[in-house]
């Protein structure tokens, strides 16, 4: 039965008394922002309980008060379903990694309820309004799609006896005397002491039950986050034990494996090496790092120097900053006048490559600041899709972990990747004499479909020259 038919039947059954009721119902329907079917069901419940009929028969109560009474009865059963939010154009699904709350917990507006893991970033699901969690519609480790129902939330304030209200009420109970002395006049303080001396004794009695509530924190380890952290920690096996543990790969690790294998299968990868003397750039950094940190708040490192050297070397070998695009492996070369440098950052979940955009327009300090900001966001798990989209050339610094030499893999559709390694003191022949110099191996992996050996070696030698004599970068 539709809402209009319901109203007509009410009017026909009682023409005289139904007129104020019809006005209340029609106005309540217009004011309600919830779906129409839910409004009619609430009206029928309120009518069956006699709530609206009682309100309409009271002559001293206005129609506005009757509507407020009806709205109040509707809000008690108002629920909403939280759905999987939009994540990015290229992401349509993810894995529900964990619930941040449990059934029965009260959540504030915009408070995190769950975390969805995608192949690029982690997306937090927040409560659209304040309310109490009533039901989980999916389980942890389930695959969810954008727009899918996640959790039922009963809207409204915190229910009586909730954990948050108890936390707020507990500090008020043990100190009634202090509150009286600070907020009440002296006359009002003495009256309770004279007239009701017994309640104070009664107030001192409830103190022992508080000790019973103290063991409650021991139940906290059962929360999803702490359970997950305890499960992920490796257990110390007894000597001689032969145990195995199988852990499902997360989406980011699966995506990394897929892209790296795709790179090996698509690009004709080849790596060329060179050795660079770091004496000059280390002296340069030693002279100016304190001044730059004091004036501009940036820690001067080696990544900005190598980034700047790569940008200048690309002017002579522009194919390093190009890419191959098109069907069937690509049939078109795309040359670019801008340089977006992808910086490889290792995180707990895997390797990510946030992008420093328009690096050709930045100086060394600007590049250093951008790399520091991206690195911090990566470690704090706050990178967005926009931070990692694109990139025309990649620099990977395995030297921070002590790598002496390695062959990085190309990040498609890019053409080349530069690998930096650890700085080691080595004996080197300088002008016919043996000297101890800090040396670093450089590795350039390039796509031989686009770059020949001559261009790749020329590019790497130019980087070597800029690093060994930073003054040349002023002439570039």
Active site residues: 448, 452
CB 170 within 8 A of CB 110: no
Residue 157, CA distances (Å) to 160, 182, 259, 475 in order: 9, 30, 47, 66
CB 407 within 8 A of CB 430: no
Q: Given the structure tokens 């390695």, which residue do they identify?
A: 406
CB 407 within 8 A of CB 445: yes
Token pair of 437, please?
A: 């110099």
Q: With residue 47 as reference, give the H or E element that holds it.
A: helix 36-48
CB 460 within 8 A of CB 324: no
Spatial separation of the C-alpha atoms in residues 392 and 83, rounded to whole Å: 36
- Is it true that the peptide bond before 413 is cis, omega within 30 degrees of 0? yes
**Ordered DSSP codes for 105-156:** -EE-TT-EEEEEE-SS-EEEEE-SSSEEEEEESS-TT-EEETT-EEEEEEES
Q: Which parts of 196-270 fold into alpha helices (H)?
A: 198-204, 207-213, 224-232, 251-266
Token pair of 232, please?
A: 């992920």
DSSP code at position 250: P
């Amino acid at each position: 039965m539709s809402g209009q038919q319901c109203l007509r039947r009410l009017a026909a059954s009682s023409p005289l008394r139904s007129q104020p009721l019809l006005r209340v119902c029609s106005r309540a329907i217009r004011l309600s922002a919830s779906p129409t079917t839910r409004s009619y069901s609430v009206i029928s419940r309120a009518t069956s309980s006699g709530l609206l009929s009682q309100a309409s028969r009271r002559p001293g109560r206005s129609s506005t008060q009757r509507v407020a009474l009806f709205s109040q009865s509707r809000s008690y059963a108002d629920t909403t379903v939280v759905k999987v939010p939009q994540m990015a154009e290229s992401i349509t699904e993810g894995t529900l990694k964990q619930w941040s709350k449990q059934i029965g917990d009260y959540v504030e507006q915009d408070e995190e309820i769950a975390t969805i893991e995608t192949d690029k970033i982690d997306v937090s699901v927040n409560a659209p309004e304040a309310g109490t969690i009533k039901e989980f519609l999916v389980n942890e480790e389930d695959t969810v799609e954008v727009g899918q129902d996640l959790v039922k939330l009963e809207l409204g304030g915190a229910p009586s006896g909730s954990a948050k209200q108890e936390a707020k009420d507990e500090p008020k109970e043990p100190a009634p005397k202090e509150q009286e002395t600070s907020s009440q006049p002296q006359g009002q303080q003495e009256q309770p002491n004279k007239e009701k001396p017994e309640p104070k004794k009664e107030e001192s009695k409830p103190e022992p039950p508080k000790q019973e509530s103290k063991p409650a924190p021991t139940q906290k380890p059962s929360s999803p986050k702490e359970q997950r952290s305890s499960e992920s920690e490796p257990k110390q096996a007894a000597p001689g034990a032969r145990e195995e543990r199988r852990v499902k790969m997360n989406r980011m690790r699966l995506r990394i494996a897929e892209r790296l294998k795709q790179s090996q299968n698509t690009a004709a990868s080849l790596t060329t090496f060179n050795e660079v003397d770091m004496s000059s750039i280390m002296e340069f950094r030693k002279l100016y790092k304190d001044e730059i940190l004091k004036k501009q708040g940036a820690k001067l490192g080696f990544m900005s120097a190598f980034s700047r050297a790569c940008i200048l070397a690309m002017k002579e070998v522009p194919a390093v900053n190009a890419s191959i695009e098109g069907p069937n492996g690509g049939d078109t070369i795309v040359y670019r006048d801008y340089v977006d440098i992808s910086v490889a950052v290792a995180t707990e979940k895997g390797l990510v490559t946030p992008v420093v955009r328009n690096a050709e327009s930045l100086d060394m300090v600007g590049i250093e600041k951008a790399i520091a900001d991206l690195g911090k966001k990566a470690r704090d798990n706050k990178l967005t899709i926009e931070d990692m989209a694109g990139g025309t050339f990649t620099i990977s610094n395995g030297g921070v972990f002590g790598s002496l030499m390695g062959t990085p893999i190309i990040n498609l559709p890019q053409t080349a990747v530069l690998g930096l390694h650890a700085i080691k003191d080595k004996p080197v022949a300088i002008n016919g004499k043996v000297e101890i110099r800090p040396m670093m191996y450089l590795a350039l992996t390039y796509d031989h479909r686009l770059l020949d050996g001559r261009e790749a070696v020329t590019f790497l030698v130019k980087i070597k020259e800029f690093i060994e004599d930073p003054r040349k970068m002023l002439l570039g």
